[in-house]
């Protein structure tokens, strides 16, 4: 049974003051990610509505996205539940998480999270450029507090060195960048210039330098999946969901993640990627300043560009692999459409690497 009656009664009482839920319905709102998220459902009755998220230690799914049982694993299956139980997810300023009404243990390494229903908020998938900037301000203020006045948490279940662990899952196709056969493909030749191969090889070769730059940046509490699907706007500010990867990272690391994800998943047109970067970087710096952080602006730009350059070098070889295998689609769109949209983003990624290397040199 997806909905446990005892859990439901507790949740409804916490919302309405009365334990009887009355007539209620349950509707699935998201397919399972077999590794850790068992599923998401909207459960609602008269005068109340909640989201039920069940997490667990699954063994299926994509091999690059397998959850782990150990608290130190980059995808520790219970991390989000631990984060809600700890009370850690409260922030300065206008960034917040959904209210959690109940964390309930279930048999077989399952945990039910009963969360605020964000129906009525505006998802980032429908945001304007100005709203992306506002979210970056909210993020900067929240994360800046950890670099100024708020002590960093030390819970053992927090992820650490998350980006390196993630990148270890993405190394398999890098050899294609230097394989002439991979570039001798009609689709590839149409959209990717031959000079792009050496440029992405150089981008990938700089990975350790980019990661070292992030290591040298002030630490903060990071989300590590700042994607438009996880961001919502309400009248008070910005709501950030899905804290499965929460841990310690660098200032700017989350903000950097948002820019390519918004474009690569078709929420912002590729032609606007530089405008989006400027909006996010500027807003994030304003938020840091509001939190009292007084470091140099170039530190923020370096962190954003280094995080982008380090994390997304795998995009080009993934495109080469998809073309070589003759896949009809890539990222849930016809492959030719994805190539057309992603080709200019690859140029942006290369520029980020080049700019990051320039910022690493003494001013």
**pLDDT value at residue 341:** 96
**pLDDT value at residue 210:** 98
Q: pLDDT per residue over 38-47, tens digit each?
A: 899 999 999 9
**pLDDT value at residue 62:** 67
- What is the mean pLDDT of the segment spanning 8-31? 93
Does the pLDDT at position 110 exceed 90?
yes
**pLDDT value at residue 59:** 67
- If phi > 0 it is left, if psi is from -120 to 50 it is alpha, else beta; for residue 332 that is left
Q: pLDDT per residue over 120-148, tens digit each?
A: 999 999 999 999 999 999 999 999 999 99
β 247-250/219-222 pair status = antiparallel
- What is the mean pLDDT of the segment spanning 306-334? 96
What's the 3-state SS for the chain? CCCCHHHHHHHHHHHHCCCCCCCEEEEEEECCECCCEEEEEEEEECCEEEEEEEEECCCCCCHHHCCECCCCCCCECCHHHHHHHHCCCCCCCCEECCCEEEEEEECCCEEEEEEECCCCCEEHHHCCHHHHHHHHHHHHHHHHHHCCCCCCCCCCCCEECHHHHHHHCCCCCHHHHHCHHHHCCHHHHHHCCCCHHHHHHHHHHCHHHHHHHHHCCCEEEECCCCCHHHEEECCCCEEECCCCCCEEEECCHHHHHHHHHHHHCCCCCHHHHHHHHHHHHHHHHHHHHHCCCCCCHHHHHHHHHHHHHHHCCCHHHHHHHHHHCCCCEECCEEHHHHHHHHHHHHHHHHHHHHHHHHHHCCC
Does the pLDDT at position 61 exceed 70?
no
Which residues lie closer than 8 Å to 300 by C-beta, 6 or more apart?
A: 251, 252, 281, 284, 285, 288
Confidence of residue 215 (pLDDT cuts 50, 70, 90): very high
Among 311, 320, 305, 310, smallest CA distance to 352 is for 305
β-bridge partners, 102: 114
> What ranges do the domains of the chain cover?
5-116, 122-360
β 48-56/95-96 pair status = unpaired
- Give the up-direction half-sphere exposure of residue 74: CA atoms within 13 A in the CB hemisphere: 15
**pLDDT value at residue 75:** 92
**227 vs 67, higher pLDDT:** 227
Q: Do domains 5-116 and 122-360 have the same CATH topology?
A: no
- Round the average pLDDT of the chain to a whole number and report it: 94
Does the pLDDT at position 58 exceed 80?
no
CA distances from 332 to 323, 329, 338, 340 (A): 14, 6, 9, 14
**pLDDT value at residue 57:** 87
Write down the architecture of domain 5-116 according to CATH: 2-Layer Sandwich (3.30)
Domain 122-360 bears CATH identifier 3.90.1200.10: yes
- What is the mean pLDDT of the segment spanning 203-228? 97
Length of the chain: 363
**pLDDT value at residue 168:** 87
Longest dimension (CA), the chain: 68
- What is the mean pLDDT of the segment spanning 298-312? 97
Does the pLDDT at position 66 exceed 90?
no
- What is the mean pLDDT of the segment spanning 314-321? 95
Query: Does residue 38 contact residue 13 with C-beta atoms inside 8 Å?
Result: no
Q: pLDDT per residue over 228-280, tens digit each?
A: 999 999 999 999 999 999 999 999 999 999 999 999 999 999 999 999 999 99
**pLDDT value at residue 33:** 61
Q: How far apart are CA 320 and CA 322, in angstroms?
A: 6
- What is the mean pLDDT of the segment spanning 323-335? 96
Label residues 299-319 b or e (16+ Cβ within 10 Å = b). bbbbbbbbbbbbbbbbbbbbb
Does the pLDDT at position 91 exceed 80?
yes
β-bridge partners, 248: 160, 221
**pLDDT value at residue 174:** 86
- What is the mean pLDDT of the segment spanning 322-343? 96
**pLDDT value at residue 169:** 82
Does the pLDDT at position 338 exceed 80?
yes
Query: Does residue 44 contact residue 120 with C-beta atoms inside 8 Å?
Result: no
Does the pLDDT at position 172 exceed 80?
no
């Amino acid at each position: 049974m997806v909905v446990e009656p005892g859990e439901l009664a507790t949740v409804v009482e916490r919302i309405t003051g009365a334990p009887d839920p009355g007539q209620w319905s349950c509707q699935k709102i998201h397919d399972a990610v077999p590794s850790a998220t068992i599923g998401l459902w909207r459960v609602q009755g008269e005068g109340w509505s909640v989201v039920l998220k069940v997490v667990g230690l699954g063994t299926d799914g994509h091999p690059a996205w397998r959850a782990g049982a150990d608290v130190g694993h980059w995808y520790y299956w219970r991390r989000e539940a631990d984060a809600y139980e700890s009370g850690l997810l409260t922030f300065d300023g206008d960034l917040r998480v959904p209210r959690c009404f109940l964390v309930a243990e279930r048999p077989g390494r399952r945990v039910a999270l009963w969360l605020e229903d964000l129906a009525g908020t505006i998802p980032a998938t429908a945001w304007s450029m100005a709203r992306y900037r506002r979210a970056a301000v909210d993020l900067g203020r929240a994360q800046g507090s950890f670099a100024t006045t708020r002590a960093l948490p030390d819970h053992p279940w927090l992820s650490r060195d998350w980006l390196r662990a993630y990148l270890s899952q993405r190394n398999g196709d890098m050899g294609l960048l230097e394989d002439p056969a991979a570039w001798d493909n009609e689709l590839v030749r149409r959209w990717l210039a031959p000079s792009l191969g050496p440029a992405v090889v150089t981008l990938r070769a700089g990975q350790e330098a980019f990661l070292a730059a992030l290591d040298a940046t002030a630490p903060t509490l990071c989300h590590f999946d700042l994607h438009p699907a996880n961001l919502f706007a309400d009248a008070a500010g910005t709501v950030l969901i899905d804290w499965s990867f929460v841990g310690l990272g660098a200032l700017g690391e989350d903000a950097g993640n948002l820019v390519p994800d918004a474009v690569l998943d078709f929420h912002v047109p590729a032609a606007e990627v530089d405008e989006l970067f400027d909006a996010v970087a500027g807003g994030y710096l304003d938020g840091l300043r509001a939190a009292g952080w007084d470091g140099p602006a170039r530190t923020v730009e370096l962190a954003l560009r280094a995080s982008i350059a380090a994390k997304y070098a795998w995009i080009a070889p993934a495109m080469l692999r998809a073309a070589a295998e003759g896949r009809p689609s890539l990222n849930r769109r016809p492959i030719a459409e994805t190539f057309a949209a992603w080709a200019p983003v690859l140029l942006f990624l290369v520029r980020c690497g080049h700019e990051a290397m320039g910022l690493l040199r003494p001013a």
